[in-house]
Every structure is written in C-alpha cells, then in structure tokens.
Structure 1
Amino acid sequence: MAVAVFTALADANRRAILAELAAAGPATATELADRLPMTRQGITKHLTLLAHAGLVTAEPGERRRIRFRLRPEPMTVAQSYLSSLAHDWDRRLHALGSYLDQKAGKET
C-alpha cells in the first residue's frame, strides 16, 4: 500500500487533485477539470490511480455522476513512514553534531 501511495503522491497533478478535494470536498471529474488546469480525461486518469492507492473513493451521485471523496487514511501510512525516517535522520544528525562539537572542543 505504501508504494501505491508514494507513487500517487509523486505526481504534481495528483497532489493538486488531492489538495482540491481537501479544500472543496467531494467533486466529479468534470468539476475538478473546471477548477484545475487539466482536461477531464486527464483528471479521470489521475483519479483512477488515486483510487487504486486508496487516496480517493468513488461514490455514486445524482444523475449517475460519480463524485470522488478524499480518503485520508492512506496518508497515515505515508506520514508514519516519513516520520520514522525523520526520527532516524534527527538521531544521526544529533550524533554528528555532538561529534563535531567534541572535535571542535579538542582543537581549541
């Protein structure tokens, strides 16, 4: 699941779609195309990949129009992964800083 989420988030157009859904709520591909600088076909292609990653869900709307809703749960997977990486880097950078401080103290 994490690979699909990061693959989906790698594209700026898909991030723009997610941002629009987060800001304005559920929307159809046509509504998103009206708000973003992409064609409806392009939006649909990106929504398919976002749905595959679990980041959006398709819901039937009025007059058989499909509305897409943001699903934040998969973002938790990405956030957790990035948080663990940040923790590891923080630990390593702190150790490096301590080492450099000790080294600088010995040279003065």
Structure 2
Amino acid sequence: MLDLLLAQGGGTATRLSQQLPVTRQAVAKHLGVLERVGLVHATPSGRERRYQVDQTQLARAVAQLSSVGGLLGCPPATHQADRRSDPAQPGRLTPFSPIGTSPCTWRR
C-alpha cells in the first residue's frame, strides 16, 4: 500500500482498493492505522480522504527497522522477508519465512 501511495503521489481508499486484492473497508482501516502512527497524512478530497506518505516519518521507520536487523547480526541488504504467491488466491502475495532459517537469509 505504501508502495502504491509513493508511486502515485497519494491516493484514496477507493482508488487503492481497485489495485489491491482487498476491500475498500480493509484499505481504509489500514490507512487509518498508518495515519495514527504518522506514516501517512490525510486531507479531505470530496467525499473521501486523500492519503499521502510522510516521507520523513517513513525514512525514520526504515532506519529504526534497519538498526533492529543490525542487532540480529544481519547484513544491511538482507532485512526483507521473502514474499511468495499464494496459490489459493492468484495474484495475492503472502509472507514466507522458511522454517529453520535465519531472518537474515530471507530474500525478496
């Protein structure tokens, strides 16, 4: 969702839900959480709210998560969990963490 907002320079819950395999209500709820933690800001746009990523807050969150990865002993380039296609729902991505492997070895 953050990727879409960044790529498009912002968006509404309706517009985002048309591009994601979830309902508008699920998108709106997720955007509400992102707004509460300061990663997005909303402005009224007609009957909806238009959301934009707060890039300063996002950079702070990325830096903080990277430092956590450093505490685990992970090299900086490997902090991303692998994402695989969900065969039950084509086109939908789900988190994948191989059993018995270190988070440091998970790749995108």
On whether the aligned pair clears a TM of 0.5, the verdict is: yes
Give the one of 30, 34, 49 matched to 2:14: 30
What is the CA–CA distance in structure 2 between the aligned matches of 1:80 and 1:27, rounded to whole Å? 25
How far has the Cα of 1:82 moved from its partner?
3.8
> Residue type of the partner of 2:24?
R
State the match for 1:81 in structure 2.
64
Structure 2 Cα separation of the partners of residues 52 and 20 of structure 1: 19
Cα distance change, pair 41–83 in 1 and its aligned pair in 2 (3 A):
closer
Aligned position for 1:42: 26
The TM-score, its normalising length taken from structure 1, stands at: 0.58
Identity %: 38
- CA drift of 1:24 comes to 1.2
The separation in 2 between residues aligned to 1:83 and 1:26, in whole angstroms, is 25
List runs of 5+ in structure 1 lacking aligned partners: 1-16, 91-108
Match of 1:53 in 2: 37
For 2:26 and 2:69, locate their aligned partners in 1 and report how far apart those are by CA, in whole Å: 34
- When you count strand as a share of all residues, which structure comes out higher? 2
The CA RMSD over aligned residues, in Å, is 1.9
Q: Which has the higher contact order (CA 8 A, sep 6+)?
A: 1
Task: Show the counterpart of 2:96.
Answer: none
Distance 1:29 1:83, change over 3 A: closer
Q: Provide TM-score, normalisation by structure 2.
A: 0.58
2:48 is the counterpart of 1:65: yes
SS of corresponding position for 1:32: helix
